[in-house]
Amino acid sequence: MDSSTIAAVATPEGTGGIGVIRVSGPDAITAVAAVFRRAPFGQKPSDSDTDASGGFKSWRMYLGHIFDPVSGTLIDEVILAVMRAPYSYTREDVVEIQAHGGSRVLEKILNLLISYGIRPAQPGEFTRRAFINGRVDLTQAEAVADLINARSDASLDMAVSQMTGQLSNVVSSIRQSLVSVLGSLEAAIDFPEAAGDEMDDAGQGLRLSIEVLQQINQLREAYESGRFLRQGVQAVIIGRPNVGKSSLMNCLLNQQRAIVTEIAGTTRDCIEAFLTTRGVSMVVADTAGLRRDPDPIERLGIEKTQEYMASADIVLHVLDVSLPLDDEDVAIYEQLMDKPVVIVINKTDLAGHEKVLHLSPAMEEAPCMAVSALHGTGIDELKQRIADMVFSSVASAGHGFIPNWRQKCLLDQAAEAVSKVIAGLENQRLPELVSIDLHEAISAIDEITGKYVETDVLDEIFSRYCVGK
């Protein structure tokens, strides 16, 4: 493993009250000590502040100045947090320099450290070291990125549970079961004369393998139904012109309207915006409508609408309560096929004297919400309805956490191998052959936690992190 000492700014770009530079590796403490003068300035530190060699104690904070020893120039007043190996994020010596949060000052401190032989860290390199040094497994390391990127309470909760090792525990118990099946198979290979025991072992191995397959399949299902929590839902607003789609979009966004972005390349634009509601992150798209006889300019907008409809997780089909249902409404509804849909009956403020809308029998089957986008009534209930649809799909997965795509692909591989193990045991195939499939299942499981993982897979995973993490 690369044993160089690395450093990076760990706080986001831009200005802030505090900016943190993280330094990790064998030379972290000596390099920082070389450019640091303690406060109270001019006074010697007392014994209780330093270790036996006069150096920094672990898990202490030190106030002082960073200065350039060559020119003597003072750069900033800082606080150092010192964490000696192995009790640190990376399990190496770590110093976090809490400076003032200006990009120029942080850059100066970083350059000073680099001039002392410290190397700038790659994206994710601190977490990669935490993984390589055995502080966390790969699922926990991946959860750190999820935690940083979490945009809703639900995805935050999921990242925290994964970071504290809940997914690792399930995966480890799967591994243990597979190893115990392997143990009995290997006993059968080594001691074929113990024929009676072998029959018992095969029966037990089969039961255990079936249980393992169920556990793996539960995790795979959790991925399918829970990807909403990871990625958020794509809720698409659709309906014919003037039913109130844009007004509904504005209502859903409230003051967040400022982040609405136009999607380039459409003449009658589709507009997309991000919001978080009831702990679920949502991308809402207001579409251009679906006229049946479009002119060439409108056609572009319609194609975009159709793309949105195809990728939608939930469709909000808006109808105007003051107008009779027309062919276009029905045609739109028919195009939604098997998408989860909520019929949003808008303009209910007019309903008292102008309720002329009657739903088609097919529409009557769908959940219906009455709103007034003009007055904002019914909007909270609509948001709740969308969140309920998301949570009911996640609850049915039966797990508090959801594998990511990489983990899901490995679970697929493990499921296939375990299915072969089950078939092999049922058909009383040679234990030598069944054990090949078992080994395959175990190595897929090991790749999830990173027990065995190729360097290029690690490169790919950690390159998605930010520098300083």
Q: Which residues bind ligand GDP (CB under 6 A)?
A: 239, 241-247, 346-347, 349-350, 372-374
- To ligand GDP, the closest distance from the beta carbon of 312 in angstroms equals 17
- To ligand GDP, the closest distance from the beta carbon of 357 in angstroms equals 13
* DSSP string of 68-107, one letter each residue: -TTT--EEEEEEEEEE-TTSSSSSS-EEEEEEEE-HHHHH
Closer residue to ligand GDP (CB): 382 or 425: 382
How many whole angstroms separate alpha carbon 2 and alpha carbon 269?
Answer: 51
* Cβ proximity of 20 and 9 under 8 Å: yes
- To ligand GDP, the closest distance from the beta carbon of 244 in angstroms equals 3
Closer residue to ligand GDP (CB): 183 or 241: 241
Q: Where are the beta strands (DSSP E) in 60-214?
A: 60-67, 74-83, 94-101, 119-120
* Cβ proximity of 42 and 106 under 8 Å: no
* Cβ proximity of 189 and 431 under 8 Å: yes
Closer residue to ligand GDP (CB): 135 or 347: 347
Closer residue to ligand GDP (CB): 163 or 284: 284
Closer residue to ligand GDP (CB): 160 or 350: 350
* Cβ proximity of 281 and 214 under 8 Å: no
How many whole angstroms separate alpha carbon 191 and alpha carbon 431?
Answer: 11
Closer residue to ligand GDP (CB): 282 or 288: 288
How many whole angstroms separate alpha carbon 294 and alpha carbon 288?
Answer: 11
- To ligand GDP, the closest distance from the beta carbon of 264 in angstroms equals 19
Residues in the chain: 469
Q: How far from the centroid of its chain's Cα atoms is residue 323's Cα? A: 43
Q: What's at 44, amino acid-wise?
A: K
- To ligand GDP, the closest distance from the beta carbon of 301 in angstroms equals 12
- To ligand GDP, the closest distance from the beta carbon of 459 in angstroms equals 46
